[in-house]
Amino acid sequence: MRLKRLRRNELATQVNFDTATERFRPLYQPPFGILSRTGLPYPQLMSAPFESVLLSVWQQALVDKKKVLEIDGETYSVRHTAKSKLKQIDFRFEGRELRGLQQNPNTKSRWAKLAREGKQVMQFLEGGRYIAVVVDGKIQTYK
């Protein structure tokens, strides 16, 4: 059975009758019943420890200029991108594969504008999708 593609912020309404419990149950229940524009569930919400790890990565890489970061008892090397020589850190936290990437100031985004103004900006990705940005110690998460 195919599930219909739900609109943004629309609750999953398809149900199936379970004869064992004699109750209706949803066929698919995404987190909080909300799907993204692509029809996929939003990434996991960020906990306070998770946000503190992102701030720690930003601090160690851009402010303290460390070449090796320590996160949750493990060490990770700071690498540089081939073309733009931006700092990049691949790390794991709570079973999630994450990447911290220094903002390229030579683009047209609002984050690049802040980087050109001298602010320390780092984007965080999970599975190739941007999940958060840290600008001068302040974190902003993406939905």
71: its two tokens? 């996160």
Residue 49 vs residues 55, 75, 93, 104: alpha-carbon distances, Å: 10, 18, 10, 27
CA-to-CA distance for 39 and 45, rounded, in angstroms?
17
pLDDT category of residue 49 using cuts at 50, 70 and 90: confident
pLDDT category of residue 95 using cuts at 50, 70 and 90: confident
Which run of H or E residues covers position 56? helix 48-58
pLDDT category of residue 6 using cuts at 50, 70 and 90: very low
pLDDT higher than threshold 50 for residue 115: yes
Write down the pTM of the prediction. Answer: 0.66
What is the per-residue pLDDT for 4? 47
What is the per-residue pLDDT for 32? 45
- Smallest CA-to-CA distance from 99 within 71, 120, 118 is with 71
pLDDT category of residue 29 using cuts at 50, 70 and 90: very low
Q: Number of C-alpha atoms within 13 angstroms, CB side, residue 117?
A: 10
